[in-house]
Amino acid sequence: MHMHILIPYLAVIAVATYFQTVTGFGLGMIVMGAASGLELVPVATIATTISLLSLVNCAVALPGTLHHIDWRTARTVIYGIVPSVIGGVLLLNYLGGSASHVLKLLLGLVIIHGGISVMLKVTPDEQPLSNGSFFFSGFFSGLFSGMFGIAGPPLVYQFYRQKMDLVSIRYSLIFLFAVTAGIRTLFVASQGGLSPEIVALSLSALPVVGLATLAGKRYPPPLRYRSMQCIAFAVLIGIGLSLMVSAAQKLL
């Protein structure tokens, strides 16, 4: 990869990793949105690279924080994630080409819908959300991860609607992204999908991911729950618009 591409790529990785560490999400969405918009690398390559980098982010962020995770909710989400990740990878491989741009356009719409819905409702639900809603959020999260390496939108929307401690939300999301990324990576590897290009992109970003994760863990921004919630979903809207514009340019 040429330096004029590598430097902005690593800069995006650094920002996305820090953001995910302090909010619990964002790595996949920011990298996919920026890399797709700038046409740095193909969608399938970005998706697999995101999974590998997410594993590194989670490996650095999670030690010493597992007691913050809502394990009952996490198990329910995982039941939905496991089958849909594999289905999403197979669907991306089957569609390819222009059809993948249609899916990216739809993904942008889903992200924007989730962002607007929660921006209009900044107060979390008083009643706990049902296990079924967490299962389906896990299912769609796995599907998006399989297709684009982006597991965030359904889970972020679900968890930030729940009346939970912000730290618990953050580390529950990071753990679930680790599970999703791990399943996707293992399946892609079993299909021979870890190309030299993907390995090289991932290795070049490893130091950046490690340092940005440590920075986010040790120096999080001093924001209240409501402020963090508004920032999180404003980013969702921005990434959704970015994906839609990128897809529309390819389709027109």
Q: What is the pLDDT of residue 107?
A: 73
Place of tokens 């697999």: 48
Q: What is the mean pLDDT of residues 42-59?
A: 82
Q: What is the pLDDT of residue 12?
A: 87
Q: What is the pLDDT of residue 138?
A: 92
What are the residues whose beta carbons fall under 8 Å from the beta carbon of 58, sequence distance 6 or more?
174, 175, 177, 178, 181
Is it the case that residue 139 has pLDDT exceeding 90? yes
Q: What is the pLDDT of residue 179?
A: 92
Q: What is the mean pLDDT of residues 35-55?
A: 77
Top pLDDT among 108 and 225 is at 108
* DSSP state, residue 162: B
CB-based contact 176:81 (threshold 8 Å): yes
Q: What is the pLDDT of residue 180?
A: 92
156-207 pLDDT per residue, tens: 878 877 778 888 888 898 899 889 999 999 998 998 888 888 888 888 888 9
40-44, 123-127, 172-176, 180-184: range with lowest mean pLDDT: 123-127
CB-based contact 150:89 (threshold 8 Å): no
Beta bridge partner(s), residue 125: 162
Q: What is the mean pLDDT of residues 218-238?
A: 76
**Can you say whether the dihedral through the CA atoms of 111, 158, 24, 196 is positive or negative?**
negative
Count of CB atoms within 10 A of residue 199's CB?
13
- DSSP H helices, 39-165, are 43-61, 71-95, 97-119, 131-148, 152-161
Top pLDDT among 113 and 189 is at 189
CB-based contact 183:82 (threshold 8 Å): yes
Across the chain, mean pLDDT equals 81
Place of tokens 């999080």: 220
Q: What is the pTM of this model?
A: 0.77
Is it the case that residue 4 has pLDDT exceeding 80? no
Report the SS3 class of residue 248: helix
- CA triple 5-182-47, angle to 5 deg: 30
Q: What is the pLDDT of residue 97?
A: 56
Is it the case that residue 18 has pLDDT exceeding 80? yes
Confidence category of residue 102, pLDDT binned at 50, 70, 90: confident
Confidence category of residue 125, pLDDT binned at 50, 70, 90: low
What backbone torsions phi and psi does residue 162 show, to the nearest 5 degrees?
A: -80, 140
78-99 pLDDT per residue, tens: 999 999 999 988 888 777 655 6
